[in-house]
Amino acid sequence: MKLKKILSETLPHIDKINERFGSIINETYACPCGKGVVEYEEDRIPGLRGKRITCNCSECSDLFTFGRGTAELK
C-alpha cells in the first residue's frame, strides 16, 4: 500500500575535505494506522550511499515491512 507523505526535503551535502558532494533525502510518511510516522532517509553521497527506514509505531512495525513510501504485510 502507498503511504501518505507528510514531509519531503532534499539537503545538499558538501564535504570539501574529502571531495564528496551529493545530497541527503529525508521523507516522512503517516504510518498505516495513522498513529505514528515512517521516516525514510537516503544519502546520495559518492562512497557513502545508504538508506534507513524507521517506523515509530510499534503496532505497525509488527505488522508491516516498509519501503520508500510503501508498506506491505509481513
Each residue's pLDDT tens digit, 23-67: 889 999 999 999 999 999 998 877 767 899 999 999 999 999 999
Q: Does 43 or 69 have the greater pLDDT score?
A: 69
Q: Which amino acid is at 48?
A: L
Report residue 23 as a C-alpha cell: 545530497
Q: How many CB atoms lie within 10 A of CB 3?
A: 23
Looking at residue 6, its pLDDT comes to: 97
Contact indicator for 37, 6 with CB cutoff of 8 Å: yes
User: What gap in Å lies between CA 38 and CA 68, rounded to an integer?
Assistant: 9
User: What gap in Å lies between CA 32 and CA 24, rounded to an integer?
Assistant: 25
Looking at residue 22, its pLDDT comes to: 83
Q: For the whole model, what pTM was predicted?
A: 0.84
